[in-house]
Structures are given as structure tokens and as C-alpha cells.
Amino acid sequence: MDAIRDLLNRFRKREEIPYLTQDTLKALYMIMGKCREMLVKSFINIKDRKLREVYDAFSFMMLHYDKLFQFIRRCCGAPLYDDSYTNIDVEPYLAQLPLELAIRMRRVVTYIEMLYKSSSTASSSEIKTLVLELDNAIEDIARTLSRLTR
């Protein structure tokens, strides 16, 4: 959470992030939007299975994800209520990212896909482990963005 907080504090009043183009930010926004949709579906599966022991970890991870997602949305100038990312394939957008960011974002996408697939069948401890790993990957994205913009 510290990396996300540091990134938000550094760019609190700014509209753009130096060293990252609007196309890069828009690609990151599209990927994160599609992934967010999968996270919501995963939570619905978890809720339907009544795995209450996963709720807290999932909530904290979603809080971190949403903070980063809204920060990227503001920086790329996307509207508040935008659903242009609902029917996209993330691969072309991953190709538009700088290599270091693309590698870390690929890790996030992979964790989210694993979470989505396992949310309907895996045990609560497996799901919780995935959620914690995903939270670490989200923190890593924030650290990478912070490092790329120095």
C-alpha cells in the first residue's frame, strides 16, 4: 500500500505523468478495466460460495486496485463512467506498454485469470493466497510506475 500511497501523493494535483505517453496510460487503463470486470465476477463467485474468510483480503486488494485504477483513469483523461474496455482483448494493449511495465502487468492479468477460474472451485485458502499474491502484484505496478516517472 505504501507504493500506491507514494504514487498518489506525488501526482495528487497533476493531470499527466511524465515519461509515460497518453497512449501508454490509455492502454494501461484498458487492461486494468478489463481485469476489474473479471475481479467483480470472481467476487460474485466467492460470494455465491459464501467464503467469508476471503472477503477481507479481497476487499483490501480491491481497494488498492481501485485506487490505482482511478489514478490511471484521471491521468489518461477517461470519463468516470466508461465501459469501452468490456469487450477487448488485453494482448494488443500489453504490447503498447514499456517492457518493464508490461511484464508486471502480465503478472497481474495472469493472477486475475487464475483467480477467476479458481473462484468457483478452489478452497478458500487457495483463493486467499491468490488474492494476497495479486495484492503484491498491484503494489509492484505502483512501484514500477513510480520508478518509471522519476
Closest CA relative to residue 4, chosen from 66, 47, 53, 55: 66
Q: What domain range includes position 64?
A: 20-148
Alpha carbon 67 to chain centroid, angstroms: 9
Per-residue confidence (pLDDT) for residue 13, from 0 to 100 = 54
| C-alpha to C-alpha distance for 90 and 75, rounded to whole angstroms | 20
User: What pTM, to 2 d.p., does this model score?
Assistant: 0.85
Tally of structural domains, the chain: 1
Residue 6 included in any domain? no
Residue 1 included in any domain? no
Residue 58 included in any domain? yes
CATH number, domain with residue 135 = 1.20.120
Per-residue confidence (pLDDT) for residue 139, from 0 to 100 = 92
Per-residue confidence (pLDDT) for residue 150, from 0 to 100 = 65
What are the per-10-residue average pLDDT scores of the chain (150 residues)?
A: 66 59 87 92 92 91 91 81 77 90 93 94 92 94 80
Tell me which H or E stretch contains 108. helix 99-118
Closest CA relative to residue 29, chosen from 67, 80, 85: 85
Closest CA relative to residue 112, chosen from 94, 96, 86, 135: 135
Per-residue confidence (pLDDT) for residue 105, from 0 to 100 = 93
Per-residue confidence (pLDDT) for residue 43, from 0 to 100 = 93
3-state secondary structure of 90: helix
Per-residue confidence (pLDDT) for residue 20, from 0 to 100 = 74
Q: CA geometry: angle at 93 spanning 134 and 98, to 5°?
A: 80
